[in-house]
Structure 1
Amino acid sequence: MEMISVFDMFKLGIGPSSSHTLGPWRAAQRWLEELRQQLDLQEVQAVEVHLYASLALTGKGHGTDLAVMLGLSGQDPVDIPIQNVLDIKEQIYREHRINLADQYIIPFDPSQHIIMHGGERLAEHANGLIFKAYTTERVFEETYYSVGGGFVKKANEKADPQGTVQLPYPSQNGEELLQHCRSQQMKVADMVWANELAWRSEEEIRSGLRQIWQVMLKSMYHGCYAEGVLGGGLNVKRRAASMHHKLIGGIKFENAEDWLAEVKRRPNDFNAILKWIGCFAMAVNEENASFRRIVTAPTNGAAGVIPAVLMYYICFSGENVQEDDIFSFLMVAGEIGSLFKKNATISAAMGGCQAEIGVSSSMAAAALTECLGGSVEQALMAAEIAMEHHLGLTCDPVGGLVQIPCIERNSMGAIKAITASRLALDSDPADACVSLDNIIKTMWETAQDMNHKYKETSQGGLAVNISVKVPEC
């Protein structure tokens, strides 16, 4: 059984894509560390990065070239200053040099040393990449796969079936999760908390969850005030700021916390709530499309759903939400996401957008349901309902950019999550005909049957039916 922590499902990273940006970035970092074990980096005269299938077909628009260059430069997505993200890329393109591991400068021309193989797929996954280091005597080569959500595996690498820890309540599927909760009379959040303690201390858990929430909050806050046109060539105008202005006026705030307090005081009629949810979700994904720091939840392309539903819970549910409630929300969401990761996929290149927006909506629906007082059975029912109505959703980014239709889909996914939660809370799970495990199995079968052109290749769907010329594609 693969052991997956909530901190595996929620990662801090730079947009616009967890599989095409964060994953390749982490792969480059990992390759450098493994390379160090074999030779002195000063022996390296040149490096090449080969991108395959989806990584090549939509890599430019998703920032894959940027990601591997930053990874090779020794930068980390968690703490790199945002202003350095594009500056380093531009410097490499301008000077045709790279500061390998931030220690040793070697020649590097991205047009020659990042090679795209769009028509070729490596054996284990659509998101494959090969790193090569050349010395005077030999070539050091390694293959990695970015398997979704920022997760990376080396070729032929198998997960340790026992994991690196012994969890008190390991769950491979929804039925096992339910049995743990029933036998111990626990909520999902309680079960996850007990498991997390096998990895880290209580204070580390709280600190980590607090950081996740703060990055989510700040990405919404900043996205609600940032105006202009998104880069990449589609000339997509940011809309969250305009929506936000209509909702809150021209009020400025010193920080995200003061902004949040004001949002809570705003009118919460049905129309206003719908507008706020859309605003929150789009704000995050406009930030994501702008190469800013967001939380992978469980992917970058779907990063706006969970923050938007969490904001609904905090601001408009009528509950007196405290910090521990936010932590519970994140832990339930993370656990549901891990079930999809274990039994299906969270990679759009493998499963279409049902594996991103669908999974995030399912995660958010379960979390909201438990936080609103629903039973474990109702939380799992909400997760099932949300995914059921995303089945078959394709990934067809126009121009290979995480903009159209990705940004709007986050708004729709958030609304579906809230609707699924409300349906579950008003239902008896004993009457349900479909289980969460049924729907995860169905999603994976649907993913396998889906034509490859609808899996993050920009070779089908909207990507071929909109007349635009995008230089990155």
Structure 2
Amino acid sequence: MSQPARLQPLIPRRPPIETTLFDFFKVGPGPSSSHTIGPMKAGNDFLERCRALPDATLARAAAIHILLLGSLSATGRGHGTDTAVLAGLLGTAPEHCQPGMLSALAAHPEARHGLRLRQWEISLSLADITFGPVLHDAPFSNTLRLALVDAQGQPLLEMEYYSVGGGFLQWKGWTPPEHGHPVHPYGTMRELHEQLDRTGLTLHELILENETAITGMPRPRIFAQLEDIMDAMYDSVRRGLSASGRLPGKPGVWRKAGGLLERAKNQPYLVDRFLGKLNAYAFAVAEENAAGGVIVTAPTCGAAGVMPALLYAMRQDLNIGERALREGLLASAAVGFLAKHNAGIAGAEVGCQGEVGVASSMGAAMLAHARGNTARVVENAAEVALEHHLGLTCDPVGGYVQVPCIERNAVGAIKAYNAALLATCEEAHQHLVTLDAAIRAMGETGREMSVKFKETGEGGLAVSIVEC
């Protein structure tokens, strides 16, 4: 009896994926990669551009004007966008941002800060930041316009930046940086399978070979940086589990991770104990993110709890070895790359299906691969997790990455575990929907989704919980 054909989408051929591991997995402050890490990078980049101006130009500099547009304006205060831009302009890069720095800046909104431009100095304050219109004509929702001006308000340097999700930054006139090209090019999961069949490589080996070809990094260095990323994930779980009290912001949300873990340990059934602990791990990182702590974009800050929770559980509770964990993380990157390349990973562009949905998909792939399954099973696990997040809106209450975001990370981790379980228990060839089809559906859904449900705080739970 013939087997049913897998349902393949009609995706126009695009250039191959050239995203690198350490562009994708970034260490930085929460609560939002597009609202915090991207804008901080923009501020830092603008600072360097100002410092490169001629002396005659810098001698006339009097102020920096900052305009936030789109969801950066709508929910920027709750997401820490204003403090992130300021920190970047003051010389702080995301990977060097200390926990508590952004909250310290927010605590004194009228304070003036000296910004050094070689031998000249101008002062800067959160009050210099303007929250502009949500609807605008720039090519990306998350847009920042920065201008260095003279005493008469005439611009000396102007830049328009786009925070495109996951901490990735572009700007008007941006062109991709020069680098190598993947030795095994692919732009879809179907093409990735073709490369795997052609080369006989495992999924993680193919990702490694492409990483070396694109970046020139030798394997020992890649492994060392992967270990740093994994250690940062573990640290974010541990910090979150040990913290208590209320999270910053008007909603007054209590941290729950530590309490969830203690109660999970006392559950009478083994499966409840494990799932309870997985919930606690995801809460721990999502709460750290909400507090502006240091986390890893996987693929974003808003979804930062899913992957670390699974990774921590795989190590601590499932006794999966370090090599398999690393290989699973590499496999998860392939899924994240595909989602970013063919749809999007920013809540402002496609809703939370692109954040928690993609994180859950990546987590399912990581677990399936680490347990030694074939690439087809890994794909099926990723597809199941993503399929059952399709249509998920981004509707943060009060503009804070807390409600529903924290619980959503925990649910995404549980869905990832179940998706991997489903994929490993079914006959792989009987799975009809491809990951390419699910990603295409996510992209189409995101394009059709109202702006109210894309990180603007103008729809969904953000307006249903009126007391916030």
Q: Normalization by structure 1: what TM-score?
A: 0.90
Which deviates more from structure 2 when the two are superposed, residues 75-84 or residues 360-369?
75-84
Where do 1:53-452 residues align within 5 Å? 53-90=70-107, 93-100=109-116, 105-111=121-127, 113-135=128-150, 138-159=155-176, 164-198=179-213, 199=215, 200-247=217-264, 269-317=270-318, 320-452=319-451
- Give unpaired runs (5+ residues) of structure 1: 250-265
In the alignment, the residues of structure 2 paired with residue 195 and residue 321 of structure 1 have an alpha-carbon distance, to the nearest angstrom, of: 26
**Which residue does 1:261 correspond to in 2?**
none
* Residues 340 and 359 in structure 1, CA contact (< 8 A), matched pair in contact too: yes
Instruction: Give the letter aligned to residue 284 of structure 1.
Output: V
Aligned-pair distance for 1:119?
A: 3.4
Residues 138-195 of structure 1 deviation map (CA, whole Å, 9 limit, x = unaligned): 43111010000000111243446xx611221122111111111112222211111111
Contact kept? 2:203, 2:331, Cα under 8 Å: yes
> Cα gap change, 1:89/1:399 in structure 2, threshold over 3 Å: closer, same or farther?
closer
Per-residue deviation at 1:238? 0.5
Contact residue 72 and residue 101 of structure 1 kept, 8 A: no
**SS at 2:174 equivalent:** coil
Q: Is the 8 A contact 2:247 2:254 kept in 1?
A: yes
Task: Give per-residue Cα distances to partners, 1:225-253, cap 9 Å, x unaligned.
Answer: 1000001110100000111233469xxxx
Once residues 87 and 103 of structure 1 are traced to their aligned partners in structure 2, the CA distance between those partners, rounded to angstroms, is 27
1:444-472: CA deviation from partner (whole Å, max 9, x where unpaired): 00001111100001000001010224xxx
Report the residue type matching 1:397 in the other structure.
Answer: P
Q: Measure the CA separation in 2 of the matches of 1:466 and 1:88.
A: 28
Q: Aligned with 1:169: secondary structure?
A: coil
The amino acid that maps onto 1:141 is E
Kept in 2, the 8 Å contact 1:144–1:152? The answer is yes
Asked whether the equivalents of residues 29 and 293 of structure 2 are also in contact (C-alpha less than 8 Å), the reply is: yes
Structure 1 position 405, deviation (Å): 0.0
Say if 1:399 and 1:458, in contact at 8 Å, map to a contact too. yes
CA change 1:397–1:89 in 2 (3 A) is closer
Per-residue Cα deviation, 1:327-359 (whole angstroms, up to 9, x for no partner): 112111112101111111001001010010000
The offset of 1:94, in angstroms, is 4.0
2:45 is the counterpart of 1:30: yes
Residues 356 and 412, structure 2, Cα contact 8 Å, conserved in 1: yes
Between the aligned partners of 2:134 and 2:408, the Cα distance in structure 1 is 28
Equivalents in 2 of 1:222, 1:326: separation in Å?
21
The aligned residue for residue 35 of structure 2 is: 20
Q: CA deviation at 1:76?
A: 1.6
SS at match of 1:460: coil
Question: How many residues in Structure 1 have an aligned counterpart in Structure 2?
Answer: 447
What's the counterpart of residue 253 of structure 1?
none
| Secondary structure class of the residue paired with 1:82 | coil
Deviation of 1:32 (Å): 2.1
Alpha-carbon offset, residue 99 of structure 1 = 2.6
Contact 2:98-2:294 within 8 A present in 1 as well: no
State the distance in 2 between where 1:4 and 1:69 align: 28
Letter in 1 for 2:42: A
Q: Is the 8 A contact 1:122 1:128 kept in 2?
A: no
The alpha-carbon deviation at position 115 of structure 1 amounts to 0.6
Instruction: Give CA deviations for 1:53-105 in whole Å, capped at 9, x if unaligned.
Output: 100000000000010000000012212332434334545x3432343479854
User: What is the CA–CA distance in structure 2 between the aligned matches of 1:378 and 1:43, rounded to whole Å?
Assistant: 62
Query: Residues of 1 paired with 2:42 and 2:363: CA distance?
Result: 28
Q: Partner letter of residue 212 of structure 2?
A: L
For 2:285, give the aligned amino acid.
V
Which segment is superposed worse, 121-130 or 384-393? Answer: 121-130
Q: Once superposed, what is the RMSD of the aligned Cα atoms?
A: 2.0
Q: Please list every run of 5 or more consecutive structure 2 residues that lacks an aligned counterpart in the other structure.
A: 1-14
Matching residue's letter, 2:292: F
Distance 1:303 1:66 in 2: 20
Query: How many Å separate the matches in 1 of 2:330 and 2:136?
Result: 35
* Range that drifts further, 394-403 or 131-140: 131-140
Task: Report the 3-state secondary structure (helix = DSSP H, G, I; strand = E; otherwise coil) of the residue aligned with 1:99.
Answer: strand
Distance 1:152 1:389 in 2: 29
2:12 alignment counterpart = none
TM-score when normalising by structure 2: 0.91
Contact preservation (8 Å) 2:35, 2:79: yes
Aligned with 2:160: secondary structure? strand
Contact between 1:6 and 1:335, CA under 8 Å: does it hold in 2? no
Q: Does 1:11 align with 2:12?
A: no
Q: 1:132 to 1:428 in 2, by over 3 A?
A: same
Aligned-partner Cα distance in 2 for 1:372–1:68 = 42
Contact 2:204 2:330 in 1 (8 A): yes
